[in-house]
Amino acid sequence: MKTKSKITIGLVAAALLMVGCVGESVKAAPQKAVTKTVNEESLGLRKTDIYTEDATISDKTEYRSAQATTSSKIQRAFQDAPPMIPHDTTGMLPIKTDDNRCITCHMPEIAGSMGATPIPVSHFTDFRPKGKMVNGKFELPTDVMKNEVAIVQEDKLQNARFNCSACHAPQSQGNLAVENTFEAVYTSKDGANRSNWSGGKLTESLDTVGNESFITKDDIANKNSPAGALGGSTH
């Protein structure tokens, strides 16, 4: 019994001795100061005081000031992207159905002489099927289950495409807070300057209703119907 007590006391003494040694070594080790590597100002893009707006002024948006017919075209951001407006648009916006300054230069018959990009065929094409009433029931001239499309090609800009600035926008020359490293990969050789949907490519694979004019006899008979009319730009 005495032997066990001696052993126990010896183990406790050894444990206390070890703890004391560890404690002394920790006290003896030099304490390194924690350095502040990230501050609040470095977390954002702004370089001014984050607690006040007094000295914080955003970069001024600077659109191109070159006049129409004198500007240089901007490469498309990606294949078939709507072309950017490279010239000054002062006095041209907003675009209205009865006041569209864009068509004075971009209509196909005059665009070449003006050095402007011509409005494509798709903007002169009406893809809206004209319904009609048959025995009191509204019917479309197409079968949507067969992906049929009623198409009317005209020589006037469709009202569905009259608002040019819905897709085309002026380009700001302001400095970017974060560098844009995007690189476009074009699917066609001249994709930076030309759309793949030029000419009749937009409709060549569609199952359209009608012959070359895309207008059926029923369309002509129904041209004065309240439900629709030839030339979809009228509604």
The pLDDT tens digits of the residues spanning 183-197 come to: 888 988 888 988 887
**Residues β-bridged to residue 96:** 99
**Whether 219 contacts 210, CB under 8 Å:** yes
Which range is least confidently modeled, 34-43, 91-100, 172-181?
34-43
Report how far apart the first and last C-alpha atoms of the chain are (Å, whole number).
110
Our CA angle for 83, 85, 91, nearest 5°, is: 145
Please give the mean pLDDT across all residues of the chain: 76
Q: How does residue 233 score in pLDDT terms, banded at 50, 70 and 90?
A: very low
Q: How does residue 232 score in pLDDT terms, banded at 50, 70 and 90?
A: very low
Closest Cα to residue 124, out of 200, 73, 210, 235? Answer: 200
- Residue 231 clears pLDDT 50, i.e. is over it: no
Round to whole Å and give the CA distance between 234 and 76: 32
Round to whole Å and give the CA distance between 119 and 129: 22
Round to whole Å and give the CA distance between 163 and 140: 27
Strands (DSSP E) contained in the chain are 125-126, 132-134, 137-139, 148-149, 152-153, 207-208
- Residue 21 clears pLDDT 50, i.e. is over it: yes
The helix/strand/coil state of 92 is: coil
Higher pLDDT, 209 or 40: 40
pLDDT tens by residue, 194-221: 888 776 666 665 656 544 544 556 666 6
- Residue 230 clears pLDDT 50, i.e. is over it: no
